[in-house]
A = this chain, B = another copy of it.
Amino acid sequence: MIDSLDFAKVMADETRQRIMALLCCRWLCVGDIVGEMQGISQPTVSHHLAVLRDAGLVHTRRDGKQVFYSLNQDEVAVCCGRILRNFAPQVPVAAISVSE
């Protein structure tokens, strides 16, 4: 349960957002993530996964030697709801464009 500030800090990194995009709607193990992130070392990916894990923004599952991650979309939605409540209280929910 992170607040708006911590959520923003976690999101405020390009590498992390790339990893989040990779993990959206699917499970990937660390090795596969490293494979998709050209130019980023394994320790760096592992570091970012730890940040995301500590923030509760990813799900984790171990399978043998591999550890799989996937994005916790519900938590993302909760954090966005918190930002909207704090900083856009007068905008009707229906007006928030989610499609396209």
A58 to chain B, nearest CB (A): 11
Residues of A within 8 A of B (CB): 4-5, 8-9, 11-14, 17, 20-21, 24-25, 71, 73-74, 76-78, 80-81, 83-91, 93, 95-100
Contact A8 B11 (CB under 8 A): yes
6 A-B residue pairs with CB within 8 Å: A5-B14, A11-B83, A25-B89, A71-B87, A81-B98, A84-B98
Report the separation of the CA atoms of residues A98 and B5 in the bound assembly, to the nearest whole angstrom: 17
Taking a contact as CB atoms closer than 8 A, the residue among B4, B12, B89 that contacts A17 in the complex is: B4
Contact A87 B24 (CB under 8 A): yes
Taking a contact as CB atoms closer than 8 A, the residue among B20, B24, B80 that contacts A80 in the complex is: B80
